[in-house]
Amino acid sequence: MRDSTLKRVRKPARYIGGEVGSIVKDRKDVRVHMAFAFPDLYEVGMSHLGLHLLYSLINSHEAFFCERVFAPDKDLEEIIRNEEEELSTLETSTPLRNVDIIGFTLQYELSYTNILNMLDMAGIPLRSQHRTEEMPLIIAGGPCAFNPEPIAPFIDLFVVGDGEEVIVELLKLYEGRESKADFLRKACQIRGVYVPAFYEEKYEEGEFVGHGVLYDPAPYPVQKALVKSLESHHHPLRHIVPFMDVVHDRAFTEIFRGCTQGCRFCQAGMIYRPVRERSKEQVLESALRLLDEGGYEEVALTSLSSLDHSEIREIVEELHESVKDRKIRMSLPSLRLDSFSLDVLRLVSGAKRSSLTFAPEAGTQRMRDVINKNVEEDDIFSSAKALFEEGWNKLKLYFMLGLPTETFEDVKGIEETAKRLRALYRETTGKDRLQLNISTSYLIPKPFTPFQWMAMTPRDVVEQRQHYLSKALRAKQFSYSYHEGTSSNLEAVLARGSRKISDVIETAFRLGATFDGWNDYFRWEIWLQAFKKWDIDLEKELGERSLDESLPWEIIDPGVTKNYLQREYFKALEEETTPDCRGLCHGCGINSQRTGGICFGVQNPL
């Protein structure tokens, strides 16, 4: 990018490359040239562990070169569209249309219009059927790939599930391809690979009734890719260190993948099963190397529920001992309000008493039982009392609204929880300095969760409940924030949609929709116009699905069975909980022969 351009944009550090840890290869010396495309701003994408992992993995192979490209902000987009610049890779400024493969990561549905925007800025036709042989292959992976259908016409190939093994196999296959069509025919036989062109959606009287297979060797359904052990797999010991502040400026090391808690609203907890741990030794080596190489002041031990690692206490104790003289902070996501969490927290925090974040998810025990959030009322307040006694006075609590069977009493429970915590703090400390941040999100019934059949709670109902909490939590010790209902409704439609929704996405993009996950840019009226053009009934899209109907995402087999999800659905309605499945198999299907029988929670109970 020209120096004159960098002087005209708000944050030029997003576009200059050359960071410590970045890799540059001579394009003449590599056989496959790929761009890892993150469809959001640089500071968001550089906080994503998967980017660092795949970037490091691909570049560890001499024959492959992986660069990065991010969605440019509006100021640079204007320059590109005025043909003063091209959308190019970060490492070598190669025009995006000139690489072999562009790989998009699908972290959230509201980035779909950014994918189209990036393709359009690069001069690449949006739909696969319109691309010529010499144009880049467009692939995509990530959690949203578990329902690929809404963006299937734009993507040549999806990687569903764990990507480490599959991406290397695909790059090797691409290296020896005869043509793009030849490559796709062979690629679809790799586990975890979904090629949309080999399938069609079937409809009867306008209703989706299933898929047809257009190429006999293509599997149906497509089983997710599954890495059976993290121990033997590549894990980056060096991250790219940005020149600017990013959303999470810290060293990330993944300590395990999967989750055994069984929260019924959580898609990640279902699709990333089974649990696969990294050993204490590998975690410590990774964390310490990342700190040494990157000069970070904080290290995060990441997973869906980090306190469930079988050696978490030993990991935290030894890591604390190794970095205690270096003023390094440790962070653990998904802390629980229980006594074990507090023991670990004392080591993680040291003498510092910064803000803590917890997710009770619901305001009443009844509601927590419905969603299978195994946190008891007594745990919340006894743990909070212990925190207050040790000097913490800043808490963030996350809840959800629009949960199945939710009543106004459950919403009032959020208010009562906040006020009880405030009273408990005064009683415990004799002071009135508790800062309590309450945040609520809008439940979105995601594919492959027990709530996938349920309707979105009507937006006006959720907005009434948000308004109530806004008034009830007005005291200066409280801060209340919430997610907008319109963007949550859009996310739900995109999450559960069929290929029909691709027309809506393209139309919305043509009308100006981009950065839909950003409040400053989101324009609901554009999407309403697009839905109207294609005669999409929003109320129906957001409505209840019957248990026996075909669902667009059933083209994918996540390992967890439909029967298990239905059992959990009925247990939710009965307010019946399911315990953590480590050591106690509940028959979700992930331990079956078709997945390889590798459910470590069963084989190695704690």
Which residues lie across from 225 on neighbouring strands?
Answer: 161
Token pair for 216? 């006999």
Counting the structural domains of the chain, the total is 1
Residue 221 placed within a domain = no
Residue 606 placed within a domain = no
Give DSSP secondary structure letters for 154-188. G-SEEE-B--HHHHHHHHHHHHT-SSHHHHHHHHT
Residue 25 placed within a domain = yes
Beta-carbon contacts of residue 217 (< 8 Å; ≥ 6 apart): 185, 188, 189
Tens of pLDDT, residues 427-438: 999 998 899 999
Token pair for 353? 């008493």
Residue 173 placed within a domain = yes
pTM for the model stands at 0.94
Q: Are 102 and 37 in contact (CB under 8 A)?
A: yes
Q: State yes or no: pLDDT of 333 exceeds 80.
A: no
Residue 442: pLDDT band with limits 50, 70, 90:
very high
Tens of pLDDT, residues 181-221: 999 999 999 999 999 999 999 999 989 999 999 999 999 99
What's the pLDDT score for residue 121?
A: 97
Mean pLDDT of the chain: 92
Rounded to an integer, what distance in angstroms lies between the CA atom of residue 409 and that of residue 76? 49
DSSP conformational letter for 332: -
Residue 591 placed within a domain = no
Mean pLDDT of 416-433: 94
Residue 492 placed within a domain = no
Q: Using the structure block, give the residue that is written with the tokens 């204007």.
A: 78
The burial class, CB within 10 Å (0-12 / 13-18 / 19+), for 433 is exposed
Q: What CATH number is attached to the domain comprising 164?
A: 3.40.50.280
Q: Which helix (H) or strand (E) holds 497?
A: none
Residue 104 placed within a domain = yes
Q: Domain limits at 40?
A: 3-216
Residue 574 placed within a domain = no
Rounded to an integer, what distance in angstroms lies between the CA atom of residue 448 and that of residue 64? 34
Rounded to an integer, what distance in angstroms lies between the CA atom of residue 165 and that of residue 452? 29
Rounded to an integer, what distance in angstroms lies between the CA atom of residue 236 and that of residue 226? 19
Q: State yes or no: pLDDT of 604 exceeds 50.
A: no
Q: Using the structure block, give the residue that is written with the tokens 């989750």.
A: 259
What's the pLDDT score for residue 250?
A: 85
Rounded to an integer, what distance in angstroms lies between the CA atom of residue 221 and that of residue 147? 12
Q: State yes or no: pLDDT of 339 exceeds 80.
A: no
Tens of pLDDT, residues 280-316: 999 999 999 999 888 888 889 999 988 889 999 899 9
Rounded to an integer, what distance in angstroms lies between the CA atom of residue 484 and that of residue 500? 25
Give DSSP secondary structure letters for 440-471. EEE----TTSTTTTSPPPPHHHHHHHHHHHHH
Residue type, 99: V
Q: Are 404 and 573 in contact (CB under 8 A)?
A: yes
Residue 352: pLDDT band with limits 50, 70, 90:
low
